[in-house]
Amino acid sequence: MLITTEVFVQPEINWFAISPFTILLAAGVFSLLIETFAPRAARRPLQLALVFGALLASFAAAALLLGTETLTAGDAVAIDGPGVLLQAVIALVALVGAAGLAENKVDPSGDAFAARASAIPGSSDERAFTAAGWYSTEIWTLFLFAAGGMQLFVVANDLLTMFIALEVMSLPLYLMAGMARRRRLLSQEAALKYFVLGAYSSAFFLFGAALVYGATGGINFNDIAQAIPGRPQTATLLMAGVVLIFVGMLFKIGSAPFHQWTPDVYQGAPTTLTAFMAAGVKLAAFGAMLRLAYSAFGALIWDWRPLLWAIAAITMFVGVLAALMQTDIKRMLAYSSVAHAGFLLVGLISGTNAGLVSVLFYLAAYAFTTLGVFLLLSLVRDANGEANNIDTWRGLASKSPLTAFTMTFLLLALAGFPLTSGFIAKFSVFAAAVQANQMPIVLLAILASAIAVVFYLRVVVLMYFRAAESTEVAVAIPSNFTVVALVVSAVITLILGVYPQPLLDLISQTPVFIR
Amino acid sequence: MDVTNYVILAAILFSIGAVGVLVRRNAIVMFMSIELMLNAANLAFVAFAQANGTFDGQVVAFFVMVVAAAEVVIGLAIIMAIFRTRKTASIDEANLLRA
């Protein structure tokens, strides 16, 4: 049987509507040309100018697009309220993250990335490249593609575009995770684990997409949503597909029982990259997850809600209980990010507009706090690089009061104390879930938040009320890049805590996905 | 010609790949298992395209091949870097990261 020939209609592309991520992806290609043709000494300044210029342009484009609602590129991309808002937040997060990655004063030999990633750790080559003061400037090419992929991920309106965006976002991050300057074995191991589990999860996503395509006859979210009520005979196939797609997405957002890669990758990757990854991937993957749950599979809410209910409950408790037992501060924060994925799922399962608004606010608040926390971690160092063991943080307040104070503020925000963005975020998520009659899960979430306070405050207590054990650990003086990044993250955390209304209003204006 | 057979074959291939990643300890073999999963998805897409009478599934298969090629490049680069450092591609040897 031959497939009847369809006439190919060239899709209309609204270039302005897709400009936020096209700017970043085009800049990625241009950055590759810089790598190829510019002399070594000129690469870093050129790349930095390109990265910051492209991110500012992308942010400006997203800001101008706020409130636009249009489908473009053959309905493959849905430019709508939540999508554009997330694109703007991702651009801002990438700006702050890029400032963190550009830091080259903290480590005496350069930035956080290996002088040349291909040199064998401990070899004479490695020492020669490091002594020559080389930089791996190709991280900026990878960074631009990752950021562009994140922005495409949140507006993808069919399963194929979403899969491509997922890979464009993830593949560069796998590589960058393995390129740390210090502790290179750990870093390479993190890259391997991230790659294998990431590729494994995207294969699940893809097979799920195939089953959904088989059950509904379309890959476009509008076709899928319209076909769902009319095809009861394929309901089993459809549900199998939806579950596999969600498994792939839950891997990416790092929720239990698919969270095992999170602590290893967060610990092994260069800390400044962990900052960008923890914030950016969470934003992008949750944006895509929201679109899947609300737009494509909105009619199936009674089927996916119990599933995600259980996942949310497991995720919160696995996250907080495992975080209690960590001795490495990066691993502790990785488990805390697992717990936050659970809180975000609590907002998602409410399935209402209020739930959507609260999750978007939570994502924006959480992203900047996380960026700040991980960037601060990269400053506390001893002779071998970063001092991540929790005991080395004893008495830090006497060594650097400002670092200890900022860290305390950001940790309180993660714990959800009033006057920080974390409080408003948690409150709005829980309120939305209560409105949607999801009281049991909210009680579990409040219990988990209470446990979480223990491990956040443990760090604060160590910093302020314990005497320092060694004089080796010190807070490095960063360049202006990190200072600006830290100030921006802390100020946004504060502003969203004391005056959240403008952002909440902005999100509430257009809290619907179009398809 | 029944499309169901192709879908069942795709499901079997996908399961072999999914189990292969979990039980094999060599990074290269794990990686091959992942490729098998992607190709199982491709087979399912093409089979469903035939059943549904639309082109979407065939187009997806082409894009997935491109993505799989990109994934090979990234994956082998990472595995090579580790192999040159440790002289082994076994996943069990990569055990420095733990609580």
What would the DSSP string read from start to end of A170-199?
HHHHHHHHT-BSSSHHHHHHHHHHHHHHHH
What are the structure tokens assigned to A299, written together?
């009619």
pLDDT of A1 reads 45
Query: Does A213 touch chain B if contact means CB atoms closer than 8 Å?
Result: yes
Q: A17: which 2 tokens?
A: 């509507």
Mutate to test the interface with A, among B19, B30, B34, B88 (most CBs of A within 10 A): B34
Nearest CA in chain A to B28: A196
Contact A242, A303 (CB under 8 A): yes
- Look at residue B89 in the predicted model and tell me its pLDDT: 66
Min distance A65 CA to chain B CA atoms (Å): 29
Tokens (6 digits) for A29? 């290609």
Q: What domains does chain B contain, in order, with CATH numbers?
A: 3-90 (1.10.287.3510)
| Contact between chains at A192 and B1 (C-beta distance less than 8 A) | no
Query: What is the DSSP-derived secondary structure letter of residue A418?
Result: T
Asked, as a colleague might, if the bond just before A257 is cis with ω within 30 of 0, I would say yes
Mutation for B interface: A8, A184, A195, A262, most B CBs within 10 A: A195
Within 10 angstroms of residue A417's Cβ, the number of other Cβ atoms is 17
Residue A490: the pLDDT is 92
| Beta bridge partners of residue A113, listed in sequence order | A180
Amino acid occupying residue A115: A
Closest CA to A115 of A188, A31, A180: A180
Q: How far is residue A373's CA from residue A420's CA, in Å, rounded to a whole number?
A: 14
- Do strands A380-382 and A77-79 pair parallel, antiparallel, or not at all (unpaired)? unpaired
CB contact under 8 A, A200 and B44: no
Chain B, nearest residue to A117 by Cα: B81
Label residue A392 exposed, middle or buried (CB < 10 Å: 0-12, 13-18, 19+): buried
Distance of residue B4 Cα from the nearest chain A Cα, in angstroms: 11
Alpha helical stretches, state H, A217-300: 221-230, 235-253, 261-268, 271-291
CB within 8 Å: B97 and A267 = yes
Contact A174 B79 (CB under 8 A): no
CA distance A442 to B49: 43
| A1–B50 CB contact, under 8 Å | yes
Q: Does A210 touch chain B (CB under 8 A)?
A: yes
Distance CA(A77)–CA(A162), nearest Å, equals 9
Q: Suggest the residue from A171, A196, A261, A321 to mutate for an interface test with chain B (most B CBs closer than 10 A).
A: A196
Residue A497 tokens read as 């805590």
Say if CB A370 and CB A330 are below 8 A apart. no
Of B48, B51, B64, the CB nearest to A206: B64
Residue A384 at interface with chain B, using a CB cutoff of 8 Å: no
Q: Which of the residues A8, A152, A207 would you substitute to probe the B interface, choosing the one with the greatest number of B C-beta atoms within 10 Å?
A: A207
CA-CA-CA-CA dihedral for B25, B27, B28, B33, to nearest 10:
70
Residue B56 forms contact with A (CB below 8 Å): yes
Are A304 and A242 in contact by the 8 Å Cβ rule? The answer is yes
Taking CA atoms, A358 is separated from A61, A87, A343, A429, in Å, by: 24, 17, 11, 5
Length of chain A: 515
**Residue matched to tokens 């400002």:** A402
Q: How far is A353 from chain B (nearest CA, A)?
A: 32
Task: For A331, list phi and psi in degrees, rounded to 5.
Answer: -65, -40
- What residues of chain B lie within 8 A of the CB of A207, using their CB? 10, 14, 37, 40-41, 44
Q: How many CA atoms lie within 13 A of B79 on its CB side?
A: 20
Q: Look at residue B1 in the predicted model and tell me its pLDDT.
A: 61
Residues of B in contact with A3 (CB under 8 A): 49-50, 53-55
Query: What would the 3-class secondary structure string for A109-144 be?
Result: CECCECCCCCCCCCCHHHHHHHHCCCCCCHHHHHHH
Q: How many CB pairs under 8 A join A and B?
A: 145
Residues (pLDDT < 50) of chain B are: none
Check if the beta carbon of residue A268 is closer than 8 Å to that of residue A279.
no
Please say whether the beta carbons of B91 and B27 come within 8 A: yes
**A32–chain B Cβ distance below 8 A for any pair:** no
Within 8 A by CB and 6+ apart from A414, the residues are A336, A340, A366, A369, A370, A373, A422, A452, A456
A contact residues 138-157, partner B, Cβ 8 Å cutoff: none
Q: What is the pLDDT of residue A500?
A: 87
Q: What is the pLDDT of residue B87?
A: 74
Answer yes or no: is the ipTM higher than 0.85. Answer: yes
Q: Are the C-beta atoms of A509 and A80 separated by less than 8 Å?
A: no
Which residues does chain A have within 8 Å of residue B97's beta carbon, measured at their own beta carbons? 186, 189-190, 193, 263-264, 267-268
pLDDT at A514: 81
Residues forming a β-bridge with A474: A381
3-state secondary structure of A251: helix
What's the pLDDT at A320? 92
Q: Are A423 and A366 in contact (CB under 8 A)?
A: no
Q: Decide if B49 touches A, using CB distance below 8 A.
A: yes
Q: Is A267 on the interface with B (CB under 8 A)?
A: yes
A185 exposure class (CB count in 10 Å sphere: 0-12, 13-18, 19+): middle
Q: How many whole angstroms separate alpha carbon A371 and alpha carbon A386?
A: 17
Chain A, window 328-357: residues with a beta carbon less than 8 angstroms from a chain B beta carbon: 328, 331
> Is the CA virtual torsion A389, A261, A153, A313 positive or negative?
negative
Residue type, A381: R
Which H/E stretch holds residue A73? none
pLDDT for A337 equals 93
Instruction: Spell out which residues of chain B touch residue A264, defining contact as CB-CB under 8 Å.
Output: 97-98
Q: Where are the domains of chain A?
A: 19-118+137-509
Residue-level pLDDT at A32: 93
Which structure tokens are listed for A77? 């991309």
A198 touching B (Cβ < 8 Å): no
Q: Which helix (H) or strand (E) holds A381?
A: strand A380-382
Min distance B44 CA to chain A CA atoms (Å): 6
Q: Is B44 on the interface with A (CB under 8 A)?
A: yes
CA-nearest residue to A183 within chain B is B96
Tokens of A4: 């009847």
Contact B51 A160 (CB under 8 A): no
In order along its 515 residues, chain A shows pLDDT tens digits of: 455 556 677 888 888 888 999 999 999 999 999 999 989 888 889 999 999 999 999 999 999 988 788 888 888 898 888 899 999 999 999 999 999 998 888 777 778 887 777 778 878 888 888 888 788 888 999 999 999 999 999 999 999 999 999 999 999 999 999 888 888 888 888 999 999 999 999 999 999 999 999 888 888 888 888 888 877 777 888 889 999 999 999 999 988 888 888 999 999 899 999 999 999 999 999 999 999 998 888 878 888 888 999 999 999 999 999 998 888 889 999 999 999 999 999 999 988 888 899 999 999 999 999 999 999 988 888 877 788 888 888 888 888 888 889 999 999 999 988 888 889 999 999 999 888 888 888 999 999 999 999 989 988 888 888 887 777 777 878 888 889 999 999 999 999 988 988 888 888 887 788 88
B99: nearest CB among A1, A217, A326:
A326
CA–CA gap between residue A340 and residue A337 (Å, rounded) = 5
How confident is the model at residue B73, as a pLDDT? 92
Nearest CA in chain B to A188: B82
Sign of CA dihedral A188, A193, A195, A198: negative
Tell me the residue type at A295.
S
Q: Which of A3, A188, A268 comes nearest B81 by C-beta?
A: A188
The number of angstroms, rounded, from the C-alpha of A139 to the middle of its chain's C-alpha atoms is: 17
* Beta-bridge partners for A110: A107
